[in-house]
Amino acid sequence: MRVLLVGGIPKRIHHGPVDWAGHRFEAVRHAFDRIVIVEHTKARESVTLDREALADFVESTRDFDAVFCETPEAMLLFQEWKRRGDSPKALLALDVHGLERVAAMRKWYLEHDGRDPWPEMTRAPWIAWIAASSSQAQILFKAGVPRERISRINAGTIAYSTFVPNADVLLDGGPEVDGEAAFGLPADGIVVPGSGRRDPECSLEAARALPDLPFAVVDEQAAGHRRRLAGTGLLELPNVRWLRALALERYIALIKRARLVVVALQPGTGDGGHTTVALAHRLGAAVICSHVPGIADYVEDGYNARLVKAADSDGLAEAIRDLWQDADERRRLAQNGRLTEVGRARECRQGFLQTLESVAANISERAE
């Protein structure tokens, strides 16, 4: 089966498809923000669609048997295939933002097409929703998605096997297997990685409180954060190194070399930090994470992570200082993290493949 992966990583050193578990996976960058333009004003929020970009996105799916994307992109494909009269493909829809973007699109379709596609979409047998947390599964169910269409799968590092052909070597090998991918990366410091629902103010305030400790921030949305934080004094901290979005192989090498990985998340029920926590666990880095519902299925305070209250920069700084000075505790958290990820990765593989193959079978039955 040929599967199109939409988004997931900003870039890779490896180019081309990846064969894994009997299927062929190909990746393209996220499409939603290139198609849907959301303008926020004091009076209202307006949404417009770039029809040309939408047509290009739909065309990019033509030669695939299945598409794995986020829920708003799945809605665009569902509606466009229906409008064109095209045969649908198996869709795996990952919910990340608590259906916030879906709500905006439902409103747009109602205003411009006179109908809300969501109710019909939730009944389509060729779509399955993947919820990476219990909180997201509840949001989907409350929004009308039948429980049998929701696959509750914790995100594990097995997902990296769909992006690079030698994922297990990179994930389980030592620093020597990274080769040139590790060139110029900081080591034995505090890494603040990722972009999903991150709270950069909290992590940077903690860094300001710990001027003698080295921090590295890597975030594909860093440019936007830097514009927003201009004038706060948080962008010129001498102990913080800003890194541009890294290729996946370099990202793995960076986390592998970290003494601590900090995942500061925004308060609320949105998802974020899953793959970062799973990766840190697999690579043996101690994790400090915000205590929010969206990450609760992945971390246990004092067992495989140190949890701190969301938006509490003082508490975060204290946790960082404690673990920085306690090698035994870091080692214990890292060992437990590895044990956690062994089971998580196994379950992720089984759940993802079962969901993919089940939805593809529904497509085949529909065509007969």
Q: Tell me the pLDDT tens digit for each residue of 35-47.
A: 998 776 555 567 8
Inter-residue contact 194 to 273 (CB < 8 Å):
yes
Query: What is the domain extent for residue 245?
Result: 174-343
CATH number for the domain harbouring residue 240: 3.40.50.2000
Global pTM exceeds 0.85: yes
Mean pLDDT of 272-296: 95
- 275 and 350 both lie in a single domain: no
Q: Which pLDDT band holds residue 60 (cuts at 50, 70, 90)? A: very high
Mean pLDDT of 212-226: 84
- 238 and 355 both lie in a single domain: no
Q: Is the pLDDT of residue 150 over 70?
A: yes
Q: Which pLDDT band holds residue 367 (cuts at 50, 70, 90)? A: low
Looking at the structure of the chain, the number of domains it has is 2
In a domain, residue 57? The reply is yes
Q: What is the pLDDT of residue 44?
A: 56
**Highest mean predicted confidence (pLDDT) among 29-33, 143-147, 221-225, 268-272:** 143-147
Which amino acid is located at 74 in the chain? A
- 61 and 152 both lie in a single domain: yes
Q: What is the dihedral of CA 34, 42, 142, 76, to 10 degrees?
A: -20
Q: What share of the chain is helix, strand, coil (3-state, %, to 5)?
A: 45, 20, 35
Q: Is the pLDDT of residue 266 over 60?
A: yes
Q: Rounded to an integer, what distance in angstroms lies between the CA atom of residue 46 and that of residue 36?
A: 10
Q: Rounded to an integer, what distance in angstroms lies between the CA atom of residue 162 and that of residue 3?
A: 10
Q: Is the pLDDT of residue 106 over 60?
A: yes
Q: Which pLDDT band holds residue 366 (cuts at 50, 70, 90)? A: low
Q: Tell me the pLDDT tens digit for each residue of 315-327.
A: 999 999 999 999 9
Q: What is the dihedral of CA 64, 70, 73, 79, to 10 degrees?
A: 80
- 288 and 359 both lie in a single domain: no
Q: What is the pLDDT of residue 245?
A: 86
Q: Which pLDDT band holds residue 31 (cuts at 50, 70, 90)? A: confident
CATH number for the domain harbouring residue 125: 3.40.50
Q: Rounded to an integer, what distance in angstroms lies between the CA atom of residue 357 and that of residue 217?
A: 38
- 269 and 140 both lie in a single domain: no
- 180 and 289 both lie in a single domain: yes
> Which of 134-148, 205-219, 336-350, 352-366 is least confident?
352-366
Exposure string of 199-229, with b = 16+ CB inside 10 Å and e = fewer, is: bbbbbbbbbbebeebbbbbbbbebeebeeee
In a domain, residue 169? The reply is no
Q: Tell me the pLDDT tens digit for each residue of 165-207.
A: 999 999 999 999 999 999 999 999 999 998 878 999 999 999 9
Exposure string of 333-357, with b = 16+ CB inside 10 Å and e = fewer, is: bbebbbebbeebbeebbebbeebbe
